[in-house]
Structure 1
């Protein structure tokens, strides 16, 4: 195993800036997720660590050593590509066994067979070992590509969207399997690329959030969920997504308060690091809201805002209710039995705990300003 340090790497492809001063570190044995939308620079970052892309600036260190001049085949890193990159002329067994027959390992046939069999069983492709690649579905090819990585010893694993082409049921099962082996057999340093916040939250020891080639925040899943550094990071995690309301800060009798631009939302914002008069945006996660179909009082310590039902989405035992509060849309998920008679345009109330409100500055970075 080896720690990975990425320091100030920049990469341009023509006029496109793919990576812009990307820096982070991955501890020895840590499972680190890179999360971001398409085009954020996740794959380019992984390829820079692997040596398949040479950064224009910055350094990559493995186990404390600068590997800028080390060829990819000498870095002893194993990478799983989203595009599979399987050998079309080989069957599943030979694809998975190919790293074990390289000059680096040269394992005996019995050792290779044992390793491939164990890994194939773990990934649910043991019955496919004698099939050709052209006889596999995309999901099966994805698992074979992942198996070819996990079957071999390596200083670190670089997994680029390894579950992207699996159906929802299989993706959930494979996520659980990866979670199990990442805290058991797979104790190797791992960088895992994904656009799925659920994968990042459930698998990672720490997460790095990328946007347009820049690292916005690095932290544990709990840190990023509880204290997103800006509005983009807050919106990247959670479904239904966090609801935003634009407005400004005003002085109140008991401290600074937030008042929305349309006056429909007014709530105290304790611990905000800004002055009255500043334009801000607040964010409230759906799980921090409570629905009140009637006019009853809300529990002590909570603040009520009123609105109308915009849309109802029945999701089995739960119902997602989107409420229009002034010009803003806020979502809340409630048990189905709590909304039996609601319909569009019905008047309802929402209550929230002021301490659960995220406050962000207005502007290009929309940075967090609440503690």
Structure 2
């Protein structure tokens, strides 16, 4: 395996900036997830790493060796494309075997067969080996594309949304398989996704990217607990973190309409400054009956805006003035609750995130 590093990558297509000073490091054997929405620059970053896109500026290093001028076939990297990129004239077996039969490897037929069948079994496509890829579903094609990458030796694997077209059950199973493969083989992996669940469950470290810029890199725990700005904060969790605009007072935060008032942790801003707070649904509780808030909790009164039943749990959106706060509660605990009912929420001020206002929304909680 190999360590991978990119330094100051820049790439533009006409007036559109795809990459804007992208830099990160992936240690030997590390699983690094690049998380961001469509158009953030994730795929361009992978293609630049692979040598398929030439950057306007910046450097790619593999095991600390500058590799900008190294041809893709000689970088020792294996890439899985979201668009499958399968050979339509070959069956599943032929597609999986193709890297091992290439001039780069030329493995004996018995070894090719063993590797192909092992990877096909792991991906659950061992019963499709003789089927033409043109007769596969999108999910099956994606597994073949992933298998064609995993079957070959590589210094690092570059995976571009490899689970995007799989159904939920198979996707969860494949997450576990990829984690196991990475752990057991010690593979270096750069994994692109828009799904925060994949990033949190798979990654040793996560890089959050937006508009071609890396906003934050860190362990899953770091980016979850201390997001550097409001965008990163809202990239994780479902329901998403609620953002509420207002200002700071001597006692904490007050919303713009003056209805919501909560203490906040220590901040670098001063009373009178405009800020926005972020509250995760999991850090809220519904106050039931005459329950006392208890130490470390603050009660906030509101009314039920909407209820969404999600099996055993119910997502309750509570209106507190103009603000809308979401909380997830056991379905049995909110039985009989209806829209416009008066309720009380319990907030832990220690879990409130404070950000500056505006597009940047930088963190001001210290």
Conserved? CA contact 2:182–2:188, under 8 Å:
no
Alignment partner, residue 223 of structure 1 = 222
Alignment partner, residue 189 of structure 1 = 188
Cα distance, 1:170 vs structure 2: 1.2
Alignment partner, residue 315 of structure 2 = 320
Cα distance, 1:363 vs structure 2: 2.1
Q: d(CA) in 2 for partners of 1:162 and 1:319?
A: 31
Q: d(CA) in 1 for partners of 2:24 and 2:15?
A: 25
The one of 265, 271, 278 equivalent to 1:283 is 278
CA deviations 1:97-126 (Å, max 9, x no partner) are 111011121100000000011000000000
Q: d(CA) in 2 for partners of 1:231 and 1:223?
A: 15
State the secondary structure of the residue aligned to 1:70: coil
Alignment partner, residue 115 of structure 1 = 115
Cα distance, 1:270 vs structure 2: 2.3
**1:334 matched to 2:333:** no
Q: d(CA) in 1 for partners of 2:85 and 2:291?
A: 60
State the secondary structure of the residue aligned to 1:184: helix
Conserved? CA contact 2:278–2:354, under 8 Å:
yes
CA deviations 1:173-213 (Å, max 9, x no partner) are 1112112222113x211000000000000000000000011
State the secondary structure of the residue aligned to 2:265: coil
Alignment partner, residue 354 of structure 2 = 359
Equivalences for residues 194-343 of structure 1 within 5 A: 194-252=193-251, 257-294=252-289, 296-343=291-338
Conserved? CA contact 1:264–1:305, under 8 Å:
no
Alignment partner, residue 126 of structure 1 = 126
Q: d(CA) in 2 for partners of 1:294 and 1:265?
A: 21
Cα distance, 1:269 vs structure 2: 1.5
Cα distance, 1:295 vs structure 2: 5.2
Point out 4+ residue stretches in structure 1 off by more than 4 angstroms: none
Cα distance, 1:271 vs structure 2: 1.5
Cα distance, 1:297 vs structure 2: 2.9
State the secondary structure of the residue aligned to 2:59: strand
CA deviations 1:70-109 (Å, max 9, x no partner) are 1111101100000000000111111011110111211000
Cα distance, 1:293 vs structure 2: 4.3
Conserved? CA contact 1:322–1:331, under 8 Å:
yes
The alignment's TM-score, normalised by the length of structure 1, stands at 0.97
**1:166 matched to 2:166:** yes
Conserved? CA contact 2:33–2:190, under 8 Å:
yes
State the secondary structure of the residue aligned to 1:40: coil
Q: d(CA) in 1 for partners of 2:276 and 2:228?
A: 13
Conserved? CA contact 2:92–2:131, under 8 Å:
yes
CA deviations 1:152-189 (Å, max 9, x no partner) are 1101000000001111111111112112222113x211
The count of aligned residue pairs is 366
* Greater mean alpha carbon deviation, residues 156-165 or residues 267-276: 267-276
Structure 1 unpaired stretches of 5+: none
Structure 2 unpaired stretches of 5+: none
Alignment partner, residue 57 of structure 2 = 57
State the secondary structure of the residue aligned to 2:249: strand
Q: d(CA) in 2 for partners of 1:272 and 1:94?
A: 59
Q: d(CA) in 2 for partners of 1:213 and 1:57?
A: 13
Alignment partner, residue 72 of structure 2 = 72
CA deviations 1:21-43 (Å, max 9, x no partner) are 00000000100000000000000
Alignment partner, residue 21 of structure 1 = 21
State the secondary structure of the residue aligned to 1:20: strand
RMSD: 0.9
Conserved? CA contact 2:265–2:352, under 8 Å:
no
Alignment partner, residue 151 of structure 1 = 151
The alignment's TM-score, normalised by the length of structure 2, stands at 0.98
State the secondary structure of the residue aligned to 1:311: strand
